[in-house]
Amino acid sequence: MNAPHNRRLPIGVFDSGVGGLTVLRALREALPQEDLIYLGDTARLPYGTKSKSSIVRYASQATAQLQGRGIKLLVVACNTASAVALDALQEQMQPLPVIGVVEPGATAAVAARPGGRHLVLATEATVRYGAYRKAILRRDDHAEVRELACELMVSLAEEGWTDGGIAEAIIRRYLEPLAELDFRPDSIILGCTHFPLLRPALERVVADATAIVDSAGTTARVAAASLADDELLNEQQGPGRLQLMATDGASRFARIGGRFIGEDLAASDIELVDL
């Protein structure tokens, strides 16, 4: 059973790993008074190369863990889980709201370049499900969308090699086939929560006129609007509490997660949980 509606409950956020902390950071900026509870399923990362049934099972177990703690809203801060498992998670969480990152990302892209050519950089599973293509075309039938699986970019972000020659060379290599197809994107959508860390390298590789779209800010605004509509905004004074959980590797989570969240973390800040 879901916890009863309660404005004092935290917002639950999960990702396959640390990448979703980019969304958590945007949530903290948009909703500083909210308590947040984050789960990174680091033991099973990456989700992006797995089958639909595994992704749905993993995402459902992560959701159950957060449900068990008592949350008022779930943010699926993982593009792969949002693309593949959102319907199942919405059913599991009923009547509480579930917000994924794909729909807000599509909204941001269409707003940035109406009628434009959009390139989605994502995981294999997100590309296979074409969730961004569908979401963008639902909003703008003049848009053109191409999706590109860039698995190595997840590893680059996890390793912290987000800037400099290696990151730029790998991004260039992924974009090469598009140049051959003469596809010049008006917008590039960071369709994986790890990719905002690679934004500076990407900006150096692509044309200045190309908008780089990140779903984190739009997702946080959708979450804020959902809480306001449901009269679930936390009205406590002072900053909200942050609770971090992972399924493996507290030290690694702290070391790499700190870069995503923009502050130093210690292994003792991370609670290890078994799903």
**Window 70 to 99, contacts with ligand DGL (CB under 6 A):** 78-80
Tell me, residue by residue from 37 to 76, as one string, x for binding to ligand DGL by CB under 6 A and - for no binding: --------xxxx----------------------------
| 189 to 208: interface string for ligand DGL, x by CB under 6 A | ---xxx--------------
Long-range contacts of 94-100 (CB under 8 A, 24+ apart): 94/2, 95/2, 96/2, 96/5, 96/71, 96/72, 97/73, 97/226, 97/230, 98/73, 98/74, 99/73, 99/74, 99/75, 99/219, 99/222, 99/223, 99/226, 100/76
- State yes or no: residue 25 binds ligand DGL (CB under 6 A): no
Q: Which of residues 137-156 bind ligand DGL (CB under 6 A)?
A: 154
Q: Binders of ligand DGL: how many residues, by CB under 6 A?
A: 17
Q: Which of residues 217-256 bind ligand DGL (CB under 6 A)?
A: none
Judged by CB under 6 A, the residue of 22, 67, 126, 210 near ligand DGL is 126
Residue nearest to ligand DGL (CB): 48
Edge-to-edge order in the sheet of strand 117-122: 144-149, 117-122, 187-191, 211-214
Contact with ligand DGL (CB under 6 A) among 14, 15, 26, 217: 15
- Structure-block tokens of residue 252: 């690694």
Partners of 146 in the beta sheet?
Answer: 119
Distance CA 204, CA 200 (A): 6
Taking the complex as a whole, the smallest distance from the CB of residue 77 to ligand DGL amounts, in Å, to 8
Burial pattern 29-40, b for ≥16 Cβ within 10 A else e, equals ebbeebbbbbbb
> Which C-beta is closer to ligand DGL: that of 60 or that of 193?
193
We find the least distance from the C-beta atom of residue 151 to ligand DGL, in angstroms, to be: 7
Among residue numbers 254 through 273, which ones bind ligand DGL (CB under 6 A)? none
Tell whether residue 123 is a contact of ligand DGL (CB under 6 A): yes
Residue 54 beta carbon to ligand DGL: minimum distance, rounded to whole angstroms: 11
**186 counts as binding ligand DGL under rule CB under 6 A:** no
Rounded to a whole number of angstroms, the minimum distance from the CB of residue 201 to ligand DGL is 17
Q: Which residues are catalytic?
A: 78, 192
- Closest CB 123 distance from ligand DGL, rounded Å: 4
Distance from chain centroid for Cα 239: 23
Rounded to the nearest whole angstrom, what is the least distance from the CB of residue 234 to ligand DGL in the complex?
26
Residue corresponding to tokens 């809480």: 227
Binding residues (CB under 6 A) for ligand DGL: these are 15-17, 19, 45-48, 78-80, 123, 126, 154, 192-194
